[in-house]
Amino acid sequence: MKRVSVLLRTLMLSTSQWNTYKNCKDKKKRGRIVGNAIGMAVLYMMLMVYSVAQCIGYGKYGLTDSIPVMCALVISVLGFFLTFLKVNGYIFNFKEYDMLMSLPFKPSEVAACKFLYMYLKSLPWYFSVSISMMIVYGVYSKASVPVYLMWAVSTLFLPLIPMVAASFLGFIIAKIGSGFKNKTVVQSIVTFIIIVLIFGSRFFLEDMFRNNKTAEFMQSISSATDNAGKYYIPVKWFTGMVNDFNILYMLLLVVVSLIIFVVVFTMVGVSYRKINSAMKSHSGSKTFVMEERKARSVIRTIAFKEFKRMTGSTVYMTNASMGELFCLITGIAVLFVDVDKLIDKMFKGAPLTKEMLFPAIPFIIYLFIGMASTTTMTPSLEGKNYWIVQSLPISKKNLYKGKMLFNMMLTVPFAMFTTVTFSISAGVPFLNMVLYVILGLVLCSFSTTWGCVCGIRHMRLDWENEVEVVKQGAAVTIYLLPNMFVTMALMAGTVFLGTMINSNVVTVIFIMIYAVLAGLSYLRVLKLCKD
């Protein structure tokens, strides 16, 4: 562990944004760091507010003892998902692999260091949940000071087991994928299948409590979380430690978590070098025949290059195309599921009819495909190869036009398909459906151009890991937050306005508004290309 800690400390210092802020004199760079910190702070606050609201409901219905259970479950689930979505970029196929493996460290030590680095980066998320729930628990239970201390210490170890489990699952996926020619595609497909299965189980669990009243619903949730503690032992340890002040449970949580961590990464170390070497290798086709090459325009060539870039990175592909996958699943599902039942499941029995939701269809679909835009990531993904792009005889204008074309090619087909299937299944009149298709196209244009503005303005080229750009970049955060909140507000606004004026008029108004916003964003991109 001493050797791992030396490597981890060096890695943390070399990637620390605070360290960069202290020593960098570039005002723009310092401003980007501050902006990214503010954006992340807002996300943490949102998570804390949600956690507090959830626990207050427990306290009001006399279920205070179930708050630690919920805290342990939320942190465990959060740790599993955050790790599962990032493990491929952090532990496998990372950029500085050759450099690290040339140092006098064992493969298991390098893998453990990268895991702990990912763990430290995720700690703010876990403590946002833990601290907020701990405060509410303390208010209702009047807990003593030692309970707070034990709660805080246990939070450090609570996510370890699910994170190690997610890492081991990522290791299995990487090992399976490394044996195929198209390694990234195979790993992405397996990852997509697992995510879809997990999200599908969520709706099954929710349906178990759908028809209960509020008090009965809370009792059911409490019983369900308590039962979860019987199957997932760390939850039982954490709950027993808090409610019964049992120090033995805390020691068990710490010791068992560390043992599992050591055992798993000893196993990973055995095949670690082989898997990374296989993932970095490229297969050549034995049946390749030289044929006449077709000429493409510069913009289309750049778009194709972006496609190859996406299919060459599991982290990029799973994050950039996740919304499109769920959009496709929804588009197919509405052909076989009654829309009224679907609305009841999505809006939890709210008094809404499908006719009232007609104008909101494009925005519902946009929640899938518009929450991530490849144009926020691709300028930064050039990384240290950015000088090669600048040296090519390609203008910045054409470069970013190609990047925007790729995002349109990725999002528009899925948006159009789901809009049409949703409209047909809901019995939307033909004229309304045409307007919704146009609005969907305009929304994709806005997502593409606004994302490109964020990607250029907040470009980060000094990253060491793709995850820092794809999931944690300032461009992604600044694009996501206003886009998400505005879209959710517009969904409610269109339903409200549709009850007052003709829904087609509402749709035309939003088409014009978003067309103007997309046009202004496009002009801003062209202006940034000249700077």
142 neighbors 110 (Cβ within 8 angstroms): no
The confidence score (pLDDT) of residue 37 equals 77
Beta carbons within 8 Å of 461's beta carbon, 6+ residues apart? 380, 382, 383, 384, 386
Residue 195 pLDDT greater than 70, yes or no: no
Range 73-99 average pLDDT: 75
Neighbours of 515 (CB within 10 A): 17
C-alpha closest to that of 382 among 297, 317, 460 = 460
- Band (pLDDT 50/70/90 cuts) for residue 349 is low
The confidence score (pLDDT) of residue 224 equals 52
Residue 417 pLDDT greater than 90, yes or no: yes
The confidence score (pLDDT) of residue 449 equals 92
Range 14-33 average pLDDT: 75
Range 24-39 average pLDDT: 75
Residue 182 pLDDT greater than 70, yes or no: no
Average pLDDT for the chain: 77
- Band (pLDDT 50/70/90 cuts) for residue 345 is low
Distance CA 119, CA 9 (A): 13
Which amino acid appears at position 295 of this protein? A
Residue 58, CA distances (Å) to 218, 284, 422 in order: 7, 59, 37
The confidence score (pLDDT) of residue 471 equals 73
**Phi, psi dihedrals of residue 479, rounded to the nearest 5°:** -70, -40
The alpha carbons of the chain give a radius of gyration, in whole angstroms, of 25
**Phi, psi dihedrals of residue 278, rounded to the nearest 5°:** -65, -40
The confidence score (pLDDT) of residue 443 equals 92
Distance CA 472, CA 460 (A): 11
Residue 210 pLDDT greater than 60, yes or no: no
Give the CB-side neighbour count of residue 485, counting CA atoms within 13 A.
8
Residue 75 pLDDT greater than 60, yes or no: yes
Distance CA 528, CA 473 (A): 19
Distance CA 320, CA 198 (A): 19
The confidence score (pLDDT) of residue 217 equals 44
- Band (pLDDT 50/70/90 cuts) for residue 206 is very low
Residue that wins the pLDDT comparison between 31 and 404 = 404
Residue that wins the pLDDT comparison between 208 and 62 = 62
pLDDT digits (tens, 9 = 90+) for 255-298: 888 888 888 878 777 777 766 666 555 444 455 455 555 666 78
Range 118-139 average pLDDT: 87
The string of DSSP letters for 411-479 reads: HHHHHHHHHHHHHHHHT--HHHHHHHHHHHHHHHHHHHHHHHHHHHHT-----SSTHHHHTT-HHHHHH
Distance CA 126, CA 118 (A): 13
The confidence score (pLDDT) of residue 284 equals 47
Pick the range with the lowest mean pLDDT from 37-51, 123-137, 344-358, 370-384.
Answer: 344-358
Residue 208 pLDDT greater than 50, yes or no: no
Range 131-143 average pLDDT: 86
- Band (pLDDT 50/70/90 cuts) for residue 413 is very high
pLDDT digits (tens, 9 = 90+) for 232-258: 788 888 888 887 787 888 888 888 888
Helices marked H in 142-246: 145-157, 160-177, 183-207, 214-231, 233-244
Assign 3-state DSSP to the chain and report helix, strand, coil percentages, each to 5. Answer: 80, 0, 20
Range 325-349 average pLDDT: 73
Distance CA 471, CA 319 (A): 8
Residue 489 pLDDT greater than 90, yes or no: no
Match 């030396």 to its residue by tokens.
Answer: 6
Pick the range with the lowest mean pLDDT from 9-18, 181-190, 268-277, 485-494.
Answer: 181-190
The confidence score (pLDDT) of residue 523 equals 92
Pick the range with the lowest mean pLDDT from 108-117, 150-159, 338-347, 514-523.
Answer: 338-347
The string of DSSP letters for 481-529 reads: HHHHHHHHHHHHHHHHHHTTS-HHHHHHHHHHHHHHHHHHHHHHHHHHH
Residue that wins the pLDDT comparison between 259 and 469 = 259
pTM listed for this prediction: 0.67
Residue 105 pLDDT greater than 70, yes or no: yes
Distance CA 450, CA 520 (A): 9
The confidence score (pLDDT) of residue 283 equals 47
The confidence score (pLDDT) of residue 141 equals 82
Beta carbons within 8 Å of 163's beta carbon, 6+ residues apart? 79, 80, 82, 83, 115, 118, 119, 122
pLDDT digits (tens, 9 = 90+) for 512-523: 999 999 999 999
- Band (pLDDT 50/70/90 cuts) for residue 483 is confident
Question: For a pLDDT cut of 90, what percent of the chain falls above it?
Answer: 8
Q: Phi/psi zone of residue 427: left (φ > 0), alpha (ψ -120 to 50 degrees), beta?
A: left
Q: What is the DSSP letter of 337?
A: S
Which amino acid appears at position 144 of this protein? S
Residue 214 pLDDT greater than 50, yes or no: no
The confidence score (pLDDT) of residue 414 equals 92
Pick the range with the lowest mean pLDDT from 13-22, 345-354, 425-434.
Answer: 345-354
Q: Which two tokens stand for residue 236?
A: 């039982």
